[in-house]
Structure 1
Amino acid sequence: MTTTPDYPPLAESETVSAPIISGRARTIALICLLSAAFMELMDGTVVNVALRTMETDLGASSTALQWVVAGYPLAYAVGLIVSARLGDRYGRRLLFVTGLAAFGVMSLACGLATGPGQLVAFRVLQGAAAALMVPQVLTNIQVLYRPDERGKAMGMFTSVIGLAAVTGPILGAVITDGDWFGMSWRPIFLINVPLAAIAVAAALSFIPETRDDNPAPITAGSAGLLGASLAAIMLPITLGPDNDWPAWGFAMITIGVAGLAIFARRQVTTAEAGVTPMVPPALFRTRSFTTGLITFAALTIPTGGYFLVQSLHVQMALGWSVLHTGFMWIPFSLAVPVSAGLAATVLAPRLGRRILQIGAAILITGMAAMYLAEGSSNPGLWFPAALVIAGLGFGAIVGSAGLLVLNDVPVALAGAASGVFNTVQALAVAVGAAVIGTAYTTVGESHGLQSGYHVAFLTMMAIVGAGAVLAQTMPKVTTAVSAG
């Protein structure tokens, strides 16, 4: 029996055959990559505030609306790991441009949809297109930047991600309420079309083609098993809260987890046979990646519930309009990129795992302030300050997590690492929205919305605290982390 060869340490693994660019060309390439990441994350949330308008305009049923929301993250999460490995094999720029172009086309199709069935189908295809392009973003950053340069690149990446997370609801509210050009909700999708076209042109001009010299074989059996397992988990998580968590949902989750266990075992046996597997077990021998991934998942779960519960509560309990709710997030959105950029470029290189713990403490403080403000006589007066505090904590976490988790990963494993990282993030956000959202509505229905709000926020603070404790398992610092 043979074993998979050890990959070289990070500093030695930078001798990939890919051309490395610098200066203006690399800056434009990074902007192009970041624009794609921004569009993907924004489109994951932009539809939420427009659902009622879509219902009226398209005559959509509640089931169709659920699929408009759920189809996108489902297709996205299922395809991430396979797409990352396809980029390693066939070219990261090729997969990025293909996914980006398809994303633009599907955005156009969503904006022109004339019925709920069309919109659901196009949203699923839009999520699949996003799955093609997003893994190539982090992989290209790993390849195009040396370890001592990645701090600034990751700082920009995480600042954009943090900003995109709250831009969706704000933009969706402004567009839907403003009825731009008399087109109602449609511009929330159509706005992607020119952005995608510009990004495709820039990518073809400035992003060099790179691929793995020894790519992992992608078999239909392994890819199908992985995709089916992730779908079996994601489907009930996304649809369960609106369907009273049916028994079939728990059965599907069990089947999905079992499928992932079988997939993991097949990856080990493939590696033992001397063949590079789709997800190499060697990846998880990098301590900063494995412990950091677990910590990142724990810290990400509450954020999935945070945006949902806060937005629901101010509308259902306080009577705020959709537009007012969207504007509520502006203080948060301004704080996140400031904190994320500072964390990635200055604090993470110096503090290592401690910046995650500091960010968690600040986020808990912001959530506690929200908890207290909600019970005051004028919560709207205190929410902005609390949201700034929470945004600073959230930014510190997202700004440092990618750098701390991925920086020690050899470039030979960059594609697999990117796929796994993005998949875990998507699953964590979905779990947070489902579990914490269910806690809010269940307690709210039986004991009042304020009680539901309190239970949800106490749960989120407890999970963030657990994530801070888990961060202690990470290495104190990662090798070669630098602000650049």
Structure 2
Amino acid sequence: MAISSEPTSDTEPKAARPVPSADTPPAETGDPKRWQALLVLLVAAFLDMLDSTVANVAAPSMQRGLHAGYSAIQWVLVGYQMAFALMLILGGRLGDIFGRKKVFLLGVAGFTLFSLASGCAQEPWQLVAARVAQGACAGIMVPQVMSIIHVTFSAKEKGTAFALYGSISGLAATIGLAAGGLLVDWNLFGLDWRIIFLINVPVGIAGVIYGAKVIRESKASSALRLDGFGLLLITLGVVMFIYPLLQGRELGWPVEGFVSMGLSVPVLVGFVLWQRRRISSGSSPLVEMSMFRIRSFSSGLAANLAFYIGMGMFSIAWTLYMQIGQGWSPMHAGLTSLFFCVGAFFASTGSLMVLVPKFGRKVLHIGAVVLVAGLLGYIWVAGHYGHSIHSWQLGLPLFVIGIGFGAVATPLPVIIIGDVPHQDAGSASGLVHTDIQLGFAIGGALVSVVFFGGLAAGTASSVDHITPQLRQQLVATASVAPGQVDSTIAAYRTCAVDRSKEKDPSTVPGSCTSVPALQDPKVAAVLGSATKTVTGDAFADSMQASLWTFGGIVALVFLLMFAIPKQAAEQTFEDGELSGAAGEAAAAV
């Protein structure tokens, strides 16, 4: 169905108003309110990306404020990403069927409502539930942004619109890390971490009201039907895999968790078979499976998923290391993150528009090598300085990691979609978004295994390392009798290890209160100072383990990149400009 290029009056009969199709580019004149509509779309995209990053920095403050365990905070972060990823698959289809404007405004309204619920949460489970619902609404909202831009702007204007979208997303990711720390530290109106969610409410309400006036409705030209059973299968498969990883440490790694992860594989295979059956019977699939026959698409998605599994693990472990392990304030942690953000910003800009058109796939490999170099630098710095590390010592490794990240993360989604047929650009872009979010969710869940898995052993090792100094201080400062020093240190070691195993870091184990020697004020003062050293060094060890794991994942990504056809990167760019479906998918960056 053709898209009307003429403005319609409010008195025109509804039947006379053609509904734009995603398959037909708009006329050169376009919608007279298209730039106002773009403003609403960009603000919505900004809020989504901001909430994805700002919560990372504020997570430890949420944990303290709600007396939550580590797994609850992981759910606050990972639950959002998981719900977002799952709803992205469905969100685009809902817009095609019911109208992109309606579904977009519904998503914004839900995102605003559950932002309010997150800001008002009084219990950990309330915050987790609100964040999962918020992520689901974001998954409904975000796919409509690209589709609305696609049907609203002319071919000449799309490049500008998508470039603005990509810039806003990058800006939000950068600002979110710093702004989260500033907002929490400023404690505006005494709201502490709640302000990061409540600030969305007035902006969201304004977006719904103004968006209803300036966004033009559009939907698919052909009749489509929802694949409810397909959605059920993929949701069940993903949850069966991720839930045991998130809750495993909390529940003591029960056997049924491993069974659940194993059974998730046949469930996801069943989803693929069901999609093929839908296609063969002429029904509308949830995912267009024919795209996976394109080598650059399927191999690129595999590399992309692995890459973001590593990034998801790194981002949460990084936050825990800075704020809980090193005791930095949210502002301190947020400002330290700027080293990474600056490197990623420069690499993202240069790789997409300058390096990839000239050097193709080699840029991805170089980016992976640079990223590993940055990780190795971080590993050395964290191990060398331990608990006494400063932000400026992390600056260079983080900057190098940011450069490597930007050189891979920015062009990879565009190259993945470069060979996809024009009519499948929206679906392909949605799958790339889903791939990224699932990677983040799986990586965040792996924190329970990689980061916390060795924390107890690291704590014991840290206590053993400072035992000679601790003996001297207990005798000289706390007046502990020489014959009682070793037993006091042994009791403290047990207490410290037990505390590191607790799900809630504020919980005091029984081993810390049952030994009278540990309750002596002078002894407690000496041990309190030692605990800062022990915690800092133990978290540094766990961070190093996470970095080694991330480095191994990046090495895997390096190898997977060889499966991407050499010509895919070059053909994605024509005369320095994004071509074909890749131009419409640039916002996936």
TM-score by length of 2: 0.71
C-alpha deviation, 1:261, in angstroms = 0.8
Q: Name the counterpart of 2:560.
A: 470
User: Given residue 24 of structure 2, which amino acid in structure 1 is its aligned partner?
Assistant: S
Change (3 A) 1:313 1:338: same
Check conservation: 1:238, 1:430, Cα contact below 8 A. no
- Structure 2 counterpart of 1:191, from 181, 199, 212: 199
Contact 1:349/1:477, CA 8 A, preserved across alignment: no
Query: Could you tell me which residue of structure 2 aligns to residue 416 of structure 1?
Result: 427
Tell me which of 266, 269, 278 is aligned to 1:258. Answer: 266
- Tell me how far apart the structure 1 counterparts of residues 71 and 451 of structure 2 sit (CA, whole Å): 21
Q: Tell me which amino acid in the other structure corresponds to 2:144.
A: Q
Distance 1:250 1:131 in 2: 28
For residues 211-222 of structure 1, what are the structure 2 equivalents within 5 Å? 211-214=219-222, 216-222=224-230
* Whole-Å separation in 1 of the counterparts to 2:35 and 2:239: 36
Q: Deviations over 1:121-149 (max 9, x none)?
A: 32232122111012223444565678998
Counterpart in the other structure of 1:17 = 24
In structure 1, the residue matched to 2:503 is none
Match of 2:544 among 444, 454, 465: 454
Is 1:86 matched with 2:178? no
Count of aligned pairs: 471
**Sequence identity percentage:** 33
Partner of 1:481: 573
- 8 Å CA contact 1:237, 1:430 repeated in 2: no
- One-letter amino acid matched to 1:251: V
How far off its partner does 1:58 sit?
A: 4.8
* CA deviation after TM superposition for structure 1 residue 468, in Å: 1.9
| 2:485 paired with 1:393 | no
Change (3 A) 1:481 1:437: farther
CA positional deviation for 1:171: 2.5
Alpha-carbon distance change, 131 to 370 in structure 1, aligned in 2, over 3 angstroms: same
| Contact 1:18/1:210, CA 8 A, preserved across alignment | no
Q: Distance in 2 between matches of 1:408 and 1:32?
A: 30
- 1:178 paired with 2:205, answer no
**Deviation for aligned residue 1:329:** 0.2
Structure 2 partner of 1:290:
298
Matched, 1:224 2:314: no
* Contact 2:81/2:440, CA 8 A, preserved across alignment: no
SS at match of 1:86: helix
SS at match of 1:269: helix
- Note the 1:95-244 alignment, pairs <5 A: 95-140=103-148, 156-165=164-173, 167-201=175-209, 203-204=211-212, 207-214=215-222, 216-244=224-252
Task: Give the Cα separation in 2 of the matches to 1:23 and 1:336.
Answer: 35
Q: What is the CA–CA distance in structure 1 between the aligned matches of 2:438 and 2:361, rounded to whole Å?
A: 22
Provide the residue aligned with 1:429 in structure 2: 440
Matched to 2:314, the amino acid is Y
- Which secondary structure does the structure 1 equivalent of 2:565 belong to? coil
- Could you tell me how far apart the structure 1 residues matched to 2:276 and 2:231 are? 15
| Deviation larger for 20-29 or 397-406 | 20-29
CA distance 1:256–1:47, shift in 2 (3 Å): same
Choose 71-80 or 50-59, whichever is displaced more. 50-59
Does 309-318 or 99-108 show the bigger shift? 309-318
Larger Rg: 2
Give the gaps of 5 or more residues in structure 1. Answer: 1-13
Correspondence 1:406 to 2:414: no
- Checking the alignment, whether the CA contact within 8 Å between 1:80 and 1:423 is kept in structure 2 is yes
Q: Give the whole-Å Cα distance in 1 for the aligned partners of 2:265 and 2:437.
A: 16
Change (3 A) 1:93 1:287: farther
Q: Are 1:360 and 2:368 matched, yes or no?
A: yes
Look up the match of 1:8.
none
Paired with 1:434 and 1:94, the residues of 2 have a C-alpha distance of 34
Match of 1:441 among 452, 464, 467: 452
Task: Name the CA distance, whole Å, in 1 between partners of 2:73 and 2:271.
Answer: 33
Report the residue type matching 1:264 in the other structure. Answer: V
Q: Tell me the CA shift for residue 264 of structure 1.
A: 0.6
Supply the distance in 1 between the matched residues of 2:347 and 2:213 (Cα, whole angstroms). 32
- Pairwise CA distance, 1:249: 2.5
Aligned to 2:346: 338
Task: Please report how far the alpha carbon of residue 59 of structure 1 lies from its aligned counterpart in structure 2 after TM superposition.
Answer: 5.9
Cα drift, residue 463 of structure 1: 1.2
**Structure 1-normalised TM-score?**
0.85
Letter in 1 for 2:413: G
